[in-house]
Amino acid sequence: MRILIVEDEKKIAAFLKRGFKEEGYVVEVAEDGLKAQSLAEANEHDLIILDIMIPGQDGLAVCRKLREKGNAVPIIMLTAKDQLKNKVEGLDAGADDYVTKPFAFEELLARVRAVVRKAGSGRAALIKADDLEIDPVTHKVKRGGVNIDLTSKEYALLEYLARNNGKVITRTMISEHVWDIDFDTGTNIIDVYINYLRKKVDSGHSKKLIQTMRGRGYRFGL
């Protein structure tokens, strides 16, 4: 999943970015409302965590404009404004949830999962390919009924490939969706992680789900 964090307090933004990356999410950060608007319109995100009191234009304005343009991405307001009228304003502006600071990261993670499930995008449903099952909520993976232990980055890569079952996925596409803007395109890290997945997902199975398309990238599926 790809998350856009809109937060002008650098310590909080860094804390959130680190926490979500450890959970396997790809994270972008915007420090003001104008940049947030631009990133939200230019890139596809699975969720936006949006502070209200940000420079440029406030979070309420960002939320309203996205909704007016038909952008249905789930939005969680994360703000120090904790009065009832503030919560009503945020939800009326189009937010899906409203979390006040200070907050517990574990609770925020749970709210993220709940909002994504409620979005009805199908992301909460099990992803299946042959005898492989991926649970996007718990991040548990099984093949042939046997659990497969994956690191957060291995899981993120596998889920992205599986969601694009049958499509050719280039290394550029993988770097944009599984890694972040600081990714060094000159490294072979993607190939390394593909090999990790092959050993864990395909090894010992006659049907290989991860295929290399020479000169193009990779394709997942039979």
CATH number of the domain at 58, please: 3.40.50.2300
- CA 149 – CA 187 distance, rounded (Å): 25
**Weakly modelled stretches of the chain, pLDDT under 70:** 120-125, 180-185
Shared domain check, 135 and 103: no
Shared domain check, 188 and 85: no
Torsions phi, psi for 155 (to 5 deg): -65, -45
Contact call for residues 49 and 16 (beta carbons, < 8 A): yes
Task: Kindly report the pTM of this predicted structure.
Answer: 0.65
**69, 92, 118: which is the final residue of a domain?**
118
Q: List, as one string, the DSSP characters of 151-204.
A: -HHHHHHHHHHHHTTTSEE-HHHHHHHHS-TT--TTS-HHHHHHHHHIIIIITT
Q: What is the pLDDT of residue 198?
A: 95
Instruction: Compute how many other C-beta atoms are within 10 angstroms of the C-beta atom of residue 65.
Output: 18
- Cα distances (Å, whole numbers) of residue 45 to 14, 188, 216: 19, 25, 25
- What range defines the domain where residue 193 resides? 127-220
Which amino acid appears at position 44 of this protein? E
Eight-class DSSP state of 125: S
Shared domain check, 84 and 176: no
**91, 118, 145: which is the final residue of a domain?**
118
Q: What is the pLDDT of residue 176?
A: 78
Shared domain check, 140 and 92: no
Q: What is the pLDDT of residue 66?
A: 94
Nearest to 153 by CA among 161, 163, 144, 142: 161
- CA 24 – CA 169 distance, rounded (Å): 19
Helix (H) or strand (E) segment spanning residue 15: helix 10-22
